Amino acid sequence: MGTIEGYQVPEEALSESFIASSGPGGQNVNKVATAVQLRCDVFKLGLAPWAFRQLRELAGSKMTDGGEIVITARTHRSQDANRQEARERLAELITRAHVRQAKRIKTKVSRAAKARRVDAKKQRSTVKAGRGKVQSD
Protein backbone atom coordinates (compact mmCIF):
# COMPACT_ATOMS: atom_id res chain seq x y z
CA MET A 1 0.00 0.00 0.00
CA GLY A 2 2.73 2.45 0.81
CA THR A 3 4.22 4.53 3.57
CA ILE A 4 2.03 6.54 5.89
CA GLU A 5 4.20 9.06 7.75
CA GLY A 6 7.03 6.58 8.16
CA TYR A 7 4.67 3.65 8.71
CA GLN A 8 4.58 0.84 6.13
CA VAL A 9 1.22 -0.91 5.65
CA PRO A 10 1.91 -4.50 4.61
CA GLU A 11 0.08 -5.62 1.46
CA GLU A 12 -0.79 -9.00 3.08
CA ALA A 13 -2.89 -7.15 5.67
CA LEU A 14 -5.21 -5.93 2.90
CA SER A 15 -7.83 -7.73 0.85
CA GLU A 16 -10.17 -6.26 -1.73
CA SER A 17 -13.41 -7.43 -3.25
CA PHE A 18 -15.54 -5.69 -5.83
CA ILE A 19 -19.29 -5.49 -5.42
CA ALA A 20 -22.15 -4.01 -7.39
CA SER A 21 -22.48 -0.32 -6.70
CA SER A 22 -25.64 1.67 -6.23
CA GLY A 23 -24.06 4.96 -7.27
CA PRO A 24 -24.01 6.82 -10.60
CA GLY A 25 -23.47 4.94 -13.84
CA GLY A 26 -26.84 4.29 -15.42
CA GLN A 27 -27.14 0.84 -16.99
CA ASN A 28 -23.44 0.27 -16.31
CA VAL A 29 -24.32 -0.23 -12.61
CA ASN A 30 -26.18 -3.44 -13.43
CA LYS A 31 -23.30 -4.94 -15.43
CA VAL A 32 -20.06 -3.99 -13.66
CA ALA A 33 -19.01 -4.37 -10.04
CA THR A 34 -17.35 -1.00 -9.47
CA ALA A 35 -17.67 -0.57 -5.71
CA VAL A 36 -14.71 -1.81 -3.69
CA GLN A 37 -14.77 -3.30 -0.22
CA LEU A 38 -11.33 -2.97 1.34
CA ARG A 39 -10.60 -5.13 4.38
CA CYS A 40 -7.57 -4.51 6.56
CA ASP A 41 -6.48 -6.98 9.26
CA VAL A 42 -5.46 -4.66 12.08
CA PHE A 43 -3.48 -7.35 13.91
CA LYS A 44 -1.12 -7.69 10.93
CA LEU A 45 -0.28 -3.99 11.11
CA GLY A 46 1.78 -4.41 14.28
CA LEU A 47 0.53 -1.22 15.90
CA ALA A 48 1.56 0.03 19.32
CA PRO A 49 -1.13 -0.65 21.96
CA TRP A 50 -2.05 3.05 22.26
CA ALA A 51 -2.33 3.39 18.46
CA PHE A 52 -4.48 0.23 18.28
CA ARG A 53 -6.87 1.59 20.92
CA GLN A 54 -7.06 4.92 19.09
CA LEU A 55 -7.68 3.17 15.75
CA ARG A 56 -10.44 1.01 17.26
CA GLU A 57 -12.10 4.13 18.66
CA LEU A 58 -11.80 6.06 15.38
CA ALA A 59 -12.99 3.17 13.21
CA GLY A 60 -16.12 2.60 15.31
CA SER A 61 -18.60 0.43 13.41
CA LYS A 62 -16.14 0.00 10.52
CA MET A 63 -14.14 -2.43 12.69
CA THR A 64 -15.41 -5.98 13.10
CA ASP A 65 -15.09 -8.14 16.21
CA GLY A 66 -12.42 -10.13 14.38
CA GLY A 67 -10.16 -7.06 14.16
CA GLU A 68 -10.80 -6.13 10.53
CA ILE A 69 -11.53 -2.65 9.28
CA VAL A 70 -14.02 -2.75 6.40
CA ILE A 71 -14.13 0.30 4.13
CA THR A 72 -16.60 0.43 1.24
CA ALA A 73 -16.04 3.01 -1.51
CA ARG A 74 -18.71 3.39 -4.18
CA THR A 75 -18.83 7.07 -5.10
CA HIS A 76 -16.93 6.78 -8.40
CA ARG A 77 -17.83 5.01 -11.64
CA SER A 78 -14.56 3.10 -11.99
CA GLN A 79 -12.97 0.37 -9.91
CA ASP A 80 -9.60 2.13 -9.87
CA ALA A 81 -11.03 5.39 -8.53
CA ASN A 82 -13.00 3.55 -5.84
CA ARG A 83 -9.95 1.44 -4.94
CA GLN A 84 -7.84 4.61 -4.60
CA GLU A 85 -10.48 6.31 -2.45
CA ALA A 86 -10.77 3.28 -0.12
CA ARG A 87 -6.99 3.14 0.34
CA GLU A 88 -6.82 6.88 1.00
CA ARG A 89 -9.55 6.61 3.62
CA LEU A 90 -7.71 3.74 5.32
CA ALA A 91 -4.43 5.68 5.23
CA GLU A 92 -6.13 8.73 6.76
CA LEU A 93 -7.64 6.56 9.50
CA ILE A 94 -4.28 5.00 10.37
CA THR A 95 -2.56 8.40 10.28
CA ARG A 96 -5.13 9.84 12.69
CA ALA A 97 -4.65 6.82 14.98
CA HIS A 98 -0.93 7.60 15.24
CA VAL A 99 -1.55 11.11 16.59
CA ARG A 100 -1.01 10.97 20.33
CA GLN A 101 -3.50 12.78 22.50
CA ALA A 102 -2.04 15.22 25.00
CA LYS A 103 -2.38 14.03 28.56
CA ARG A 104 -4.74 16.11 30.64
CA ILE A 105 -3.21 17.65 33.72
CA LYS A 106 -5.66 17.93 36.58
CA THR A 107 -5.84 21.39 38.11
CA LYS A 108 -7.48 22.72 41.23
CA VAL A 109 -9.44 25.91 41.61
CA SER A 110 -7.50 28.27 43.86
CA ARG A 111 -8.86 29.38 47.22
CA ALA A 112 -8.95 33.02 46.03
CA ALA A 113 -10.97 32.06 42.95
CA LYS A 114 -13.47 30.18 45.13
CA ALA A 115 -13.78 33.24 47.41
CA ARG A 116 -14.34 35.53 44.38
CA ARG A 117 -17.05 33.20 43.09
CA VAL A 118 -18.85 33.15 46.46
CA ASP A 119 -18.59 36.95 46.76
CA ALA A 120 -20.05 37.38 43.26
CA LYS A 121 -22.92 35.04 44.18
CA LYS A 122 -23.63 37.02 47.36
CA GLN A 123 -23.60 40.30 45.46
CA ARG A 124 -25.96 38.92 42.83
CA SER A 125 -28.20 37.60 45.59
CA THR A 126 -28.53 41.05 47.17
CA VAL A 127 -29.36 42.59 43.77
CA LYS A 128 -32.10 40.03 43.21
CA ALA A 129 -33.39 40.38 46.78
CA GLY A 130 -33.87 44.10 46.15
CA ARG A 131 -36.22 43.36 43.27
CA GLY A 132 -39.15 42.43 45.48
CA LYS A 133 -42.65 43.79 44.99
CA VAL A 134 -43.09 47.45 45.73
CA GLN A 135 -45.50 48.03 48.61
CA SER A 136 -47.71 51.08 48.40
CA ASP A 137 -48.50 52.91 51.62
Which run of H or of E encompasses 88? helix 79-97
End-to-end Cα, the chain, rounded Å: 88
pLDDT tens digit string along 86-127? 888 888 888 888 888 888 899 999 999 999 999 999 999 999
Higher pLDDT, 132 or 65: 65
To the question of domain 2-97 being in CATH 3.30.160.20, the answer is yes
Contacts of 38 (CB under 8 A, 6+ apart): 14, 15, 16, 70, 71, 72, 73, 83, 86, 87, 90
pLDDT at res. 26: 65
Contacts of 39 (CB under 8 A, 6+ apart): 14, 15, 16, 17, 68, 69, 70, 71
pLDDT at res. 106: 92
pLDDT tens digit string along 30-65? 677 878 888 888 888 888 888 888 888 888 888 888
Please determine, for residue 6, whether its predicted confidence score (pLDDT) is greater than 70: no
pLDDT at res. 60: 86
State the number of CA atoms in the 13 A half-sphere of 125 facing the CB.
6
Residue 16: pLDDT band (50, 70, 90) is: confident
pLDDT at res. 29: 63
